[in-house]
Amino acid sequence: MAYLTESDVHDYVNGICFKTGPPGRVGVETEWLVTDRHRPNLPVPLNRLSALVDEAGPPPNGSVVTFEPGGQLELSSPPLPGPASAYSALATDLAHIEKHLNDAGLRLDGRGLDPHRTPVRQLSLPRYAAMERYFDAGGGPSGRAMMCSTASLQICLDIGADRADVGRRWRLVHRLGPVLLAAFANSPLWRGRPTGWRSTRWAVWAAIDSSRTRPAAAEDPVTAWTRYALAARLMAVPRADGPWIVNPGLAFGAWLAGGHTPRLTPGDLEYHLSTLFPPVRPRGWLELRMIDAPAGPWWPVPLAVAAALVDDPAAAQAATAATDRLCGGTGPGRGLWLTAARDALTDPALAACARACFAAASEALAGMGAARLVPMVDAYRERFVEQGRCPADEELAYGGVR
C-alpha cells in the first residue's frame, strides 16, 4: 500500500485540485431548507422528502439531488458552457423537483440559516457522525447548526487555462468573496431573533474551526492550498476494517510527519480535503462557498454575476480594479470578511465595490450569450445593491416574514 508524504500532498494539489484547462464552464449547487406548510416549525422527515424526490424521477437536465445532514435539499447542475446554460438547466430541474414537493405540501425555503427550527441531524452516514463528534468536542452549538441548519449557493468555475491564469482567477475570486458575501447576505435571524449579523450563516461557519473555514492565502495557489491542507486539523481517519479515528488533536501535516498509526494514504488525503470548508475551495474547479442561499427568484443572480466577473475579460478587469481599491492591493483580511458578514452593503467601501462589480457583470452578460440573465441582475441591482442593502435588510424590515 502506498503511504502519503508531504511531497505527495503538493503533487496532488498541483495535479488534481489545480488541474488547468480552457475556462468557460459553469456549475451551480443550490441548497434549500425544506419546510412543511402545515408544520413549519418541525423538521421535514428525510425519509418523506427522499421518497418524494424519488417519485419525481431524475431531473430532466441531469442535475444531481443530494441531502445535507439536517435534511436540506441540494440540487447541483452539471458543468455547462457559460452561465446561461447552467441557469437554463438548473431552472428546469428545480421546477421539476419543486412542483412535486409543492403538491405534497412542502416548500423550498431560500435563506442561509434556518431562523426557527432546532438543528436535528437526520443522515446517519459515518462521515456525518464523525463530523458531529468532532464539532461537539469543540463546544458550543455552531457545529450542529452548520451541519443541519445552514444553506448556501455555490458557484463552480473553471480553474484557468494555464498557471498565470490560475493565479489571476485565484486572486480575483478571493477579493470578490467579501463583496459577494455582503451583496447576497440572507440570514439575519437565528432562534427566532436578530443576531446582529446580516449573514449569520457565515458567523456560524467561522465559529466552528478556523483551521478549516478561514480563507486560504491569496498567494501562489498551489503553495497556499498545500499549506492550508497540511495546517488544518485532522477531523477523522476513516477505516473500513474498524472504528474511525475521530479528532486525534493534530493537524494533518503533524500526523503525516509524526509516524502515527495508521499511516495515511492518498484516500485519507482525499477525505481530509473534503472536510475543509474555506470560502473558496479548489477541487479541479473553483468552488465559491461564501454566498447565502438566496430567496427563490434571486438564485440565478449570484451565478450570473460571479461567472461574468471571472470569465469575461472586461468585467474581470473592472472587478480587479474595484476590488484592488477595496482591499488596498492585497488579499482581503479577516476584518473585511467579518465586516461583510455583519454590515454587508451598509459598509460604504463594500457598497461602492459591489456597485462597480454588478455594473460590469450586467454589461458583460449579453456578450457571454446570457442576455436573458441581465433583467434579473439589473432588478437585483436596483432593489438591493444601488440602495446599499441586501436581502437580510429586507427581512429585518419586515420582521422576518416573507
Statement: residue 402 has pLDDT above 80: no
Cell 444601488, residue located: 386
Write down the mean pLDDT value for the chain: 95
Mean pLDDT (whole number) for 276-292: 98
Nearest-angstrom CA–CA distance, 181 and 78: 24
The answer to whether 106 and 36 are in contact (CB under 8 A) is: yes
Query: What's the number of domains the chain is made of?
Result: 1
At 127 the pLDDT is: 95
Strand 25-36 with 80-81, pairing: antiparallel
Nearest-angstrom CA–CA distance, 197 and 195: 5
CA angle 217, 203, 293 (to 5 degrees): 95
At 220 the pLDDT is: 93
Cell 459598509, residue located: 347
CATH number, residue 147: 3.30.590.20
Q: Which of 68-77, 89-98, 152-161, 325-334 has the lowest mean pLDDT?
A: 325-334
Q: Which residues have C-beta within 8 Å of that of residue 317, sequence separation ≥ 6?
A: none
Statement: residue 1 has pLDDT above 70: no
Q: Using one digit for the tens of pLDDT, what is the confidence trace for 120-140?
A: 999 999 999 999 999 999 877
At 400 the pLDDT is: 58
Mean pLDDT (whole number) for 202-206: 95
The answer to whether 253 and 6 are in contact (CB under 8 A) is: yes
Q: Using one digit for the tens of pLDDT, what is the confidence trace for 50-107?
A: 999 999 999 999 999 999 999 999 999 999 999 999 999 999 999 999 999 999 999 9
Closest by Cα among 44, 87, 47 to 63: 87
Domain assignment of residue 1, yes or no: no
- Residue 241: pLDDT band (50, 70, 90) is confident
Domain assignment of residue 292, yes or no: yes
Helices (H), 184-238: 200-206, 210-213, 221-231
Domain of residue 49, residue span = 6-397
What's the maximum distance between 2 C-alpha atoms anywhere in the chain? 60
**Number of Cβ atoms within 10 Å of the Cβ of 252:** 28
Domain assignment of residue 31, yes or no: yes
Domain assignment of residue 402, yes or no: no
Q: Using one digit for the tens of pLDDT, what is the confidence trace for 78-92?
A: 999 999 999 999 999
Closest by Cα among 60, 36, 30 to 49: 36
Taking the CA atoms of 365, 366, 368 and 372 in sequence, report the sign of the dihedral they define: positive
Q: Using one digit for the tens of pLDDT, what is the confidence trace for 212-226?
A: 999 998 789 999 999
At 218 the pLDDT is: 78
Nearest-angstrom CA–CA distance, 42 and 220: 46
Closest by Cα among 191, 205, 180 to 344: 180
